């Protein structure tokens, strides 16, 4: 509290409160470290999944949420939609391992104000946060060009046909790629097994995949690339500090 009073008394605005949502404790700790180094942002809470994030938004009232899309249970896309519906004043920056070619446009349509790969360094994350808080859309230059080309029809947004899938179908495909059964996916997404099976059949039809084993192979290959974009960049923030793993949804107490 003394730090924030000092900022206010110097004539500078108080730091923007940020909630970090990610299933990986080390990543949450790393982002918190960057925020602490920034001077204009402060970590007000952490959450590892969507339901925790919504509860924390209610309690902590952050100005900005930084979220992964590949969360345990409900996806980050669903979280973004919920925030837009119930907390439109909260700005969202996606910081994810998910393929930007497939997810960036979906995230922006859902209500995100920026999209950044976890391959980015801490300085790039802080720059993106500042863009979002300044009222701009935060995108890498090449990604912005690609999205503009897709919007104008210059390039096909299908990404091998995946663009034909709905957000929910893409979410089911991601869980299939983690070797989850239909019943397990139903539990994770709070759906009936029959609904998940319908999504699975629709995925096969839209992607023209003739059999369940081939669908599983396709999903595993798709997910393998996402899982590879992990914490290597996450621990290379200011001062190259590697924070200790944390746990759960909790406010920043220091």
Is the domain of 11 the same as that of 92?
A: yes
144-154 pLDDT, tens digit each: 777 776 666 55
Own/partner long-range contacts of 120-126 (Cβ < 8 Å, ≥24 apart): 120/95, 120/233, 121/233, 121/236, 121/237, 122/30, 122/33, 122/34, 122/37, 122/236, 122/237, 122/238, 123/237, 123/238, 125/31, 125/34, 125/66, 125/95, 125/237, 126/34, 126/35, 126/38, 126/41
| 10-residue mean pLDDT series, the chain (254 residues) | 46 88 94 93 95 96 96 91 96 92 90 93 94 93 75 56 86 89 91 94 92 90 61 40 37 40
Give the pair of three-digit tokens for residue 155. 């390039």
Is the domain of 187 the same as that of 141?
A: no
Is the domain of 81 the same as that of 25?
A: yes
188-200 pLDDT, tens digit each: 888 999 999 999 9
Residue 30 lies in a domain: yes
Is the domain of 72 the same as that of 139?
A: yes
Give the pair of three-digit tokens for residue 123. 């300085």
Do residues 170 and 102 make contact, with C-beta atoms less than 8 angstroms apart? Answer: yes
Is the domain of 103 the same as that of 204?
A: no
Is the domain of 20 the same as that of 124?
A: yes
Tokens 């602490």 found at = 36
- pLDDT at residue number 96: 92
- C-alpha closest to that of 125 among 18, 4, 8: 18
- For 18, the 3-state DSSP assignment is strand
Phi, psi of 45 (to 5 degrees): 180, 165
Is the domain of 71 the same as that of 180?
A: no
Show the domain range for 116: 2-153+229-240
Residue 223 lies in a domain: yes
Tokens 């924030």 found at = 4
- C-alpha closest to that of 229 among 138, 117, 127, 84: 117
Is the domain of 70 the same as that of 124?
A: yes
Residue 209 lies in a domain: yes
CATH of the domain at 46: 3.40.50.2300
Give the pair of three-digit tokens for residue 80. 């973004």
Is the domain of 217 the same as that of 236?
A: no
Phi, psi of 22 (to 5 degrees): -165, 140
Residue 246 lies in a domain: no
- pLDDT at residue number 156: 52
- C-alpha closest to that of 160 among 99, 71, 210, 75: 99
Type and span of the H or E element at 116? strand 114-117
- pLDDT at residue number 15: 93
Is the domain of 177 the same as that of 197?
A: yes
- pLDDT at residue number 69: 93
Residue 56 lies in a domain: yes
Is the domain of 92 the same as that of 195?
A: no
- Residue 26 CB burial class (10 angstroms; 0-12, 13-18, ≥19): middle
- pLDDT at residue number 247: 36
CATH of the domain at 213: 1.10.10.10
- pLDDT at residue number 60: 95
The count of structural domains within the chain is 2
Do residues 128 and 66 make contact, with C-beta atoms less than 8 angstroms apart? Answer: no
Is the domain of 90 the same as that of 42?
A: yes
DSSP state of 19: E
pLDDT exceeding 70 applies to what percent of the chain? 79
């Amino acid at each position: 509290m003394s730090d924030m009073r000092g900022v206010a008394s110097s004539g500078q605005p108080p730091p923007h409160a940020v909630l970090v949502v990610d299933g990986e404790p080390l990543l949450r700790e790393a982002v918190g470290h960057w925020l602490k180094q920034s001077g204009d942002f402060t970590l007000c809470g952490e959450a590892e999944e969507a339901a925790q994030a919504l509860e924390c938004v209610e309690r902590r009232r952050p100005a900005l949420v930084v979220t992964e899309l590949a969360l345990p249970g409900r996806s980050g896309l669903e979280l973004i939609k919920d925030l837009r519906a119930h907390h439109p004043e909260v700005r969202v920056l996606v910081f994810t391992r998910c393929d930007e070619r497939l997810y960036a446009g979906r995230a922006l349509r859902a209500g995100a104000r920026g999209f950044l790969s976890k391959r980015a360094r801490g300085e790039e994350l802080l720059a993106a946060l500042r863009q979002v808080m300044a009222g701009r859309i935060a995108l890498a230059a090449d990604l912005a060009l690609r999205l503009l080309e897709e919007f104008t029809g210059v390039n096909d947004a299908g990404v091998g046909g995946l663009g034909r899938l709905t957000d929910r179908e893409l979410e089911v495909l991601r869980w299939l790629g983690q070797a989850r059964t239909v019943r397990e996916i139903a539990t994770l997404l709070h759906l009936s097994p029959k609904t998940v099976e319908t999504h699975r059949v629709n995925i096969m039809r839209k992607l023209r995949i003739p059999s369940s084993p081939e669908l599983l192979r396709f999903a595993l290959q798709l997910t393998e690339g996402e899982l590879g974009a992990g914490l290597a960049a996450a621990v290379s923030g200011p001062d190259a500090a590697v924070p200790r793993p944390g746990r759960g949804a909790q406010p920043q107490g220091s």
